[in-house]
Every structure is written in C-alpha cells, then in structure tokens.
Amino acid sequence: MVIFLVCRIPQAYKWATSYTATKERPLLDMSQGVPGIPPPPILLEALGKCAANPRTCGYCPMTGEPLLKASLVREMKVTYGKDSDLCPDDVALTAGCNMAFITAVMSLADAGDEVILPVPWYFNHEMTLQMLGITPVPLQTTPQEGFSPSPEICAKLVTPRTKAIALVSPNNPTGATYPPSLISAFAFLARRHGIALIMDETYRDFILSGVPHYLFVPGSLQGQSGLPANWTWREHFIHLFSFSKSYCIPGHRLGAIVASSEVLKQVETVLDCIQICPPRHAQLVLHPLLSELRPFIRETAESVAHRHELFKSHLPSTWKIGSQGGYYAFVRHPFKGVSTRDVSRRMAMEAGIVTLPAGFFMPQQPGTKDGATGVDDRWIRFSVANVDDEKVKRVCSRLKELEAEFGWELDI
Ligand SMILES: Cc1ncc(COP(=O)(O)O)c(C=O)c1O
C-alpha cells in the first residue's frame, strides 16, 4: 500500500513565493525550527579538517563511535544529574532524531499496533507511524492546560495494541515544557501498562533551569520525583536526542537513542538495514569537544529565551500566546471565524511572514483540507530560533498592520 503524505514545510514556503520581498520589507521566516546561527568556529574548523581525513570516509560501528557515546553520557549526567544511571552501552547514535524515532518505533511496534501521541503532534512522528502502518492515537491537549497532556486521559486510550506513548518536551509545535512531575506520571503509567514511554528531547538544552526530568535516576536515590523507590528507567523508557539544535549542525545528521540493551538489540538490526552507521566525521569531531561546547549551548539557549521574551512583549495584544518554550511559540490569531490556514497563507503571501498553522500538527477531519481541523482552528506556530531579535520585532509590527489590511473582523 502506498500512503500519500504531504510534507508540511514546503507547503508554507510555496505560499511565500507569492510575496514580493524588498530591501525594506524582507521575507520574515518564522516557519522552520532550524538554528539561526552557525556552529562556533572551533567546531566548524574541526569539521573541515576532519572531513579531509580519508580515515573518516569509512563505516564506523553500527550504533556509532564509542568515544562519542561516552562523551554524550558525560554530558547527560550534567543535564539529568550526577546520579543518573547511564553508561555508553545504553546509547545508539543515529543520523538525526527523526532517524532515532523511526528506529525506536520499528523496534517496538508492528503494523496494526498503536502509539499514543499528544495533539498537536510533531508531524514527522505522525507521518512515520502512518508509513509503518502503526496507528497514531491522538491524545488531545488544550490551551487551558498550557497544551500539556493528561496522564488520566491517556490511560483511557491504552488498548491491548498500544506499544508506546511518545512525548516531545519542550514540545514541537506548542513549545510547552512538561514539568518533571508530569513526565514521572507518564513513566509510571507506561510501567503500569507494560508499554514504552518514548521521549523526544530534541530541545532539552533550551530548558534554562532545573532538570528536564528525573527518569534516569534510580528510584532509590530520588526524593520527590513522584517515581516509586524501585523505579529503574531501562524497563520502560526510551530517550531520543538530536545534535541538530544544541550544536547547530542539522545538516550533519546526528541523533541518539538511549534505551535498554534489550531494546538496543532490535535497534541495531533496524539501523543495520536503514542506516548502516551514523555519519562518521561529525562524531569524531564532536567527542572531544562536547564539554567545551557547553557554554556555547548555554549562550544560545539564553539568546533564544531572550527572543521569546521580546516576542511576548512586542506581540499585539490581540494575538494570544498559549504556550512558549524551546524553539516555538504557539499563538492564537485574533480573526473571528477565519481558519488558521487562511491566516497563515495570507500572512506568507501578503505580509511576508512565514509560519505554520496548527492544522499541520493535527489529525485531519475527513473531507477537509490540511489545516481545517474544526477544533478551535485559531493556533499558529512561530519559530523564534531562526530569526534575529530585530526580525522578531518586525514580525510583531507587521502583525499589527495586517489586522487592518486583511479586513477580517477582530474577535476582541
Ligand atoms: C521534536 C523534533 N524531533 C526531531 C526533529 C528532527 O531532528 P533531527 O534533525 O536530529 O533529525 C525535530 C526537528 O525539528 C523536532 O522538532
């Protein structure tokens, strides 16, 4: 069976081709979640040198270079706490986090099985499941709850076919960052039902205070995490990471799966077929640099957080932020009875602001076009990562102007 799935970002760029950019009014792209700055010179220079070394042209071990696994584990102990029970053998390196996700689900589920995803969802997760014949089961989140999923509602969606719950925190598209207590509740739920909790933590380095969660710390060493004393993460937890955002190297394609040896056995078979090995030279370059790059990551995260603040303070009061974090702000447009797809489309075509409508991140209602979800169809994803502070301010003033120009009734 051939499944026809539409890639979402090219659709938004297609709208933008109708916009005539000028020097005074350039295109303002807040659609794609890509780093707005290059990697630091030390990393760029090392990548260049290493690429010229013939030794880096061959395959490496299927699950990646052991030295980078060891460095990643050292960094994870800084991020998740020194008591984290992690070792290099828990890691498989992949060609990016999307590769990590497809590998993880292929290792856990067969066609006909189910994986629960909070909605709005990261569209590549949903598309991956569809391509594999695995049913994505929507777990609706609401603006009232800051787009955080409910473990109680999730529990009702578990069936004998459920193989995993997959969360993204900080979230794409909503930016919602789930508190450790909520993540503990989902881990506990997964354990109760004997299923996996997969967490895509692509944006974890953009959390400026506190740990992302306590799942890597054995229950016996935990204080108030909400996890039982006999908690050990390997039974039910699978962590996914991307080097794309933290190290600003999306084109070098590096990600990671952290899982039990049992899961990693399956992972290795899948990777052998779909990847053979992760891109080699970026691994060789990164392993001695990870700890040195920590201040760069911190500074980048601080500047993204500052841009979020700018966006919030300059946004016209008629546009409401529902949640914000990582790379994204999820914003409710002010136009009464107008679909979010139409608003995003006209913003790109007429005002030169490229964004993604929430409908791109939701199940489609039968018989409607992409973006017409019918459920409070007013939300738009803005990425604050790939624009500078000045552009964020320009976006906000254009939003104010277009309220009058579009001629739609305002819902205020
Ligand atoms: C939640 C999430 N996971 C994975 C990815 C892709 O990461 P990678 O470049 O490592 O494949 C993205 C990119 O936008 C993302 O937002």
Q: Is the CB of 166 under 6 A from ligand 1?
A: no
pLDDT at 367 over 60: no
pLDDT at 110 over 80: yes
Using 50, 70 and 90 to split pLDDT, how confident is the model at 223? confident
Averaged pLDDT score across all residues of the chain: 93
pLDDT at 373 over 70: no
Using 50, 70 and 90 to split pLDDT, how confident is the model at 349? very high
pLDDT > 70: percent of the chain? 95
pLDDT of residue 112: 98
CA of 192 to the centre of ligand 1 (A): 29
CA of 203 to the centre of ligand 1 (A): 9
pLDDT > 90: percent of the chain? 88
- Tens digit of each residue's pLDDT (9 = 90 or more) over 173-186: 999 999 999 999 99
Q: Is the CB of 149 under 6 A from ligand 1?
A: no
- Tens digit of each residue's pLDDT (9 = 90 or more) over 116-158: 999 999 999 999 999 999 999 999 999 999 999 999 999 999 9
pLDDT of residue 7: 73
Domains in the chain and their CATH numbers? 8-30+295-405 (3.90.1150.10), 41-292 (3.40.640.10)
Q: Is the CB of 171 under 6 A from ligand 1?
A: no
Average pLDDT over residues 275-293: 96
Report whether 96 contacts 241 (CB < 8 A): no
CA of 124 to the centre of ligand 1 (A): 8
Q: Is the CB of 255 under 6 A from ligand 1?
A: yes
Helices then strands, each counted (H, E), the chain: 13, 13
**Two tokens at 386?**
């790939």
CA of 359 to the centre of ligand 1 (A): 19
Give me the helix-helix angle, 8-16 and 340-351, nearest 10°.
40
Ramachandran region, residue 230 (left: φ > 0; alpha: ψ -120 to 50; beta: rest): alpha
pTM of the predicted protein model: 0.95
Q: Is the CB of 122 under 6 A from ligand 1?
A: yes
pLDDT at 375 over 70: no
Q: Is the CB of 386 under 6 A from ligand 1?
A: no
Average pLDDT over residues 297-303: 97
CA distance 315 to 229: 46
